């Protein structure tokens, strides 16, 4: 019997649909169950329960993910992190727990001079389409990313050229860049087979190198992966992965509680207390929830009004109220996931607050993360108590991103991973707070900030670079264009029979070759 359980007690078993009668794969269209779940939870899709064998050696894992693909799973976008979490697309370099680069599809590398790096490509790697990984194939993937418009965020401000010779890929940058290996660890620079690239389109279906092959994508609803037996590393313990995209946090939590999903991404804080605590893992994340104020246009072009917001916000109320204590009050843009950030210099206010006196503002966020609308509601009340008139705007991320980046709102609350790309927070700061940053929600352009970011950029990893990063952070905070609210902890749900799923603060790993169902 196939149990399809609605998020209520007293669920009944439904007859198993005879999938083997179909000549092609279908995505388990359990229509009746979907209707029940949709009515109860506004669920966007149904889950495919794992087919566990008696010895646990030929199992599929069902995964409920937070956000659907935004760019058709293009590795040049943030969708790349889904490919990485499914272990289907890989990079030349990976990062260890300390954020230091380690061999991936490249076995070693050398810094030839200030602007030139050579990477030796691993031998014996086969793409999912049957072609071999070569230096030429790796160079083709990197060159395509470097020439893309827009570029992957990891290459913001980086002029990069690539060449191949023998088993070596040479990466040259216009300026000295000590973080080239870190950059090449970003899932946005995954190495796919040449067949993946067709004009302006990049398809990861059947073109990666990982232990799981992506074989089917059903729009923004689901995806299916199969174990790739030609994998160059340790073989996967699972036979496959069934992914369902479920933006509704209540539905994701219900899927864990009822057993419809084996692994659940981003269990909402509001749902965590309702679940078996032994199924949850809580990890401090390099992710900060920040209030961005439009420093270029509108009321918050006035530094005094930005200072008024900074003095008004009660961060502790957000942590204790919205997050039920499952977060950390922000002292800066960087949080406890980066322990060295606690050595930041003491901050002093540089601008006196101006009385809001009824100034009208728009405060916006997105609904994909369930805590975000709640934060906006609490912030709106705090700001209104201080004298602002607040209009709230909440939409799905896909429908608000363009206006957010164009500066259409006076204030925007964003949950942002601070070392998502390179493992080094400077790339995040440059992208979000420099004059030329591509993700500059606050429309901030400050000479002191840009100068300090530029000073930190050429420094080698280590104490001096970290000190320079904290100086840049202090300059950003001094503008009051970005007011960090709290540092998040991710809550991941794993069914009791799931073993060795990754609990990754950087959100790059989830299902790995070691993951299994016991």
Each residue's pLDDT, cut to its tens digit, for the chain (518 residues) gives 333 333 333 332 333 323 222 233 333 333 333 333 333 333 434 555 445 443 444 599 999 999 999 999 999 999 999 999 999 999 999 988 777 899 999 999 999 999 999 999 999 999 999 999 999 999 999 999 999 988 898 898 889 999 999 999 999 999 888 989 999 999 999 999 999 999 889 999 999 999 999 999 999 999 999 999 999 999 999 999 999 999 999 999 999 999 999 999 999 888 999 999 999 998 888 999 999 999 999 999 999 999 999 999 999 999 999 998 999 999 999 998 888 898 898 877 678 999 999 999 999 999 998 889 999 999 999 999 999 999 999 999 999 999 999 999 999 999 998 986 777 898 899 999 999 999 999 999 999 999 999 999 888 777 898 899 999 999 999 999 999 999 999 899 999 999 999 998 888 999 999 999 99
Query: What pLDDT does residue 46 have?
Result: 57
Nearest to 368, CA basis, from 220, 485, 218: 220
- 19-71+210-262+495-517 is classed in which CATH architecture? 3-Layer(aba) Sandwich (3.40)
Nearest to 418, CA basis, from 439, 402, 400: 439
Query: If you ran DSSP here, which 8-state letter would residue 319 be given?
Result: I
What residue has token string 């949709």?
Answer: 38
Give the span between the Cα atoms of 268 and 133, in whole angstroms: 40
Structure tokens at 119: 């990477």
Query: If you ran DSSP here, which 8-state letter would residue 20 be given?
Result: G
Residue ranges per domain, the chain? Answer: 19-71+210-262+495-517, 93-202, 284-489
Give the span between the Cα atoms of 417 and 401, in whole angstroms: 16
DSSP secondary structure, 152-165, as one string: PGGGTT--EEEEEE
- Number of neighbouring beta carbons within 10 Å of residue 84: 27
Nearest to 98, CA basis, from 505, 508, 465: 505
Work out whether strand 411-417 and strand 360-366 pair parallel, antiparallel, or are unpaired: parallel
CATH numeric code, 284-489 = 3.10.105.10
Q: Does domain 93-202 have CATH number 3.40.50.300?
A: no
Query: What pLDDT does residue 202 have?
Result: 96
| Helices and strands, number each (H, E), in the chain | 13, 21
Find out whether the peptide bond into 150 is cis, omega within 30 degrees of 0: yes
Please list the alpha-helical segments (H only) found in 66-164: 80-85, 135-147
- Sign (positive or negative) of CA dihedral 225, 230, 233, 235: positive
Structure tokens at 306: 């930005």
Helix (H, G, I), strand (E, B) or coil at 387: coil
Nearest to 426, CA basis, from 154, 163, 211, 176: 154
Burial of 281 from C-beta contacts in 10 A (0-12 / 13-18 / 19+): middle
Contact 474, 347 (CB under 8 A): yes
What residue has token string 């790993």?
Answer: 509
Nearest to 220, CA basis, from 79, 75, 31: 79
Query: HSE of 409 in the Cβ direction (CA atoms, 13 Å)?
Result: 28
How do the residues of the chain divide into helix, strand and coil, expressed in percent and rounded to 5?
30, 25, 50
Query: HSE of 166 in the Cβ direction (CA atoms, 13 Å)?
Result: 4
Q: Crossing angle, helix 31-41 and helix 249-258, to 10 degrees? A: 130
Query: If you ran DSSP here, which 8-state letter would residue 132 be given?
Result: B
Burial of 219 from C-beta contacts in 10 A (0-12 / 13-18 / 19+): exposed
Query: What pLDDT does residue 169 have?
Result: 98
């Amino acid at each position: 019997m196939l149990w399809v359980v609605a998020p209520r007690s007293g669920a009944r078993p439904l007859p198993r649909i005879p999938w083997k009668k179909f000549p092609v794969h279908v995505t388990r269209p359990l229509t009746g169950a979907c209707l029940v779940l949709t009515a109860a939870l506004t669920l966007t899709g149904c889950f495919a329960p794992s087919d566990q064998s008696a010895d646990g050696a030929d199992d599929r894992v069902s995964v409920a993910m937070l956000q659907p693909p935004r760019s058709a799973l293009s590795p040049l976008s943030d969708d790349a992190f889904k490919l990485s979490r499914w272990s289907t697309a890989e990079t030349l370099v990976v990062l260890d727990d300390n954020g230091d680069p380690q061999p991936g599809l490249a076995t070693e590398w050398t810094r030839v001079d200030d602007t030139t790096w050579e990477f030796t490509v691993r031998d014996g790697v086969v793409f999912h389409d049957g072609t071999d990984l070569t230096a030429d194939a790796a160079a083709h993937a990197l060159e395509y990313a470097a020439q893309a418009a827009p570029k992957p965020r990891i290459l913001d401000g980086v002029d990069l050229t690539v060449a191949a010779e023998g088993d070596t890929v040479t990466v040259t940058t216009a300026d000295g860049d000590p973080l080239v290996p870190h950059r090449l660890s970003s899932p946005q620079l995954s190495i796919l087979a040449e067949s993946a690239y067709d004009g302006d389109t990049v398809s990861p279906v059947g073109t990666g190198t990982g232990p799981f092959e992506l074989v089917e994508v059903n729009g923004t609803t689901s995806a299916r992966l199969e174990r790739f037996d030609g994998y160059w590393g340790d073989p996967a313990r699972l036979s496959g992965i069934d992914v369902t995209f479920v933006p509704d946090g209540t539905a994701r939590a219900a899927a864990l509680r009822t057993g419809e999903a084996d692994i659940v991404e981003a269990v909402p804080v509001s749902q965590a207390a309702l679940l078996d605590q032994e199924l949850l893992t809580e990890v401090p994340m390099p992710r900060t929830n920040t209030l961005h104020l439009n420093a270029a246009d509108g009321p918050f072009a006035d530094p005094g009004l930005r200072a008024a917001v900074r003095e008004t916000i009660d961060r502790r109320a957000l942590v204790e109220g919205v997050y039920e204590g499952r977060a950390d009050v922000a002292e800066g843009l960087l949080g406890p996931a980066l322990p060295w950030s606690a050595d930041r210099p003491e901050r002093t206010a540089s601008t006196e607050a101006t009385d809001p006196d009824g100034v009208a503002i728009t405060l916006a966020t997105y609904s994909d993360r369930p805590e975000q609308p709640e934060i906006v509601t609490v912030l709106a009340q705090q700001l209104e108590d201080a004298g602002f008139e607040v209009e709230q705007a909440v939409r799905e991320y896909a429908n608000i991103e363009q206006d957010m980046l164009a500066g259409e709102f006076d204030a925007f609350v964003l949950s942002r991973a601070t070392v998502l790309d390179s493992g080094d927070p400077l790339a995040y700061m440059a992208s979000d707070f420099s004059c030329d940053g591509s993700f500059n929600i606050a429309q901030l352009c400050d000479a002191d900030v840009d100068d300090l970011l530029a000073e930190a950029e050429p420094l080698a990893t280590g104490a001096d670079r970290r000190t320079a990063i904290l100086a840049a952070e202090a300059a950003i905070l001094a503008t009051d264009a970005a007011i960090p609210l709290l540092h998040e902890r991710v809550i991941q749900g794993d069914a009791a029979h799931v073993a060795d799923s990754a609990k990754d603060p950087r959100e790059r790993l989830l299902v790995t070759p070691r993951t299994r169902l016991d």
